[in-house]
Amino acid sequence: VKVTRSDGNQLTPEERRNNVVIMVTQRNYTEYWSRWDGGNQEIGAVQIVNHTVPTNGIFKIEFPILDDSSELQLKASFLDTVSSMAVHDMFKSPSKTYIQLKTGDENIK
């Protein structure tokens, strides 16, 4: 995760006193579609983590992918800004094996 100001500059020490809140939601594809039939019930495993922001604004998050997950949603909140992303139908593997990708460079752009 990279946290910067909108002008690209690093955060001030005062801004870094605030935590980044990361919400990770994992759902099973069949559960996702069943919510249309099941009313307004909450479906999926939700994990909420608070992180402090280091001086360079970059920190690593890791979380286990549940065996039956086929949808992953990430939502990051910091001060009055919220950013989110979702990955759909990427976690189905009959052998339960996956490829893990990492960048070797922390100069994320």
Which tens digit of pLDDT belongs to each residue from 17-71?
999 999 999 887 654 455 555 554 456 788 999 999 999 999 998 888 887 777 8
Q: Which DSSP category does 2 fall into? A: B
pTM of the model: 0.67
pLDDT at site 8: 82
- Per-domain residue ranges for the chain? 13-88
Whether 57 and 51 have beta carbons less than 8 Å apart is answered as: no
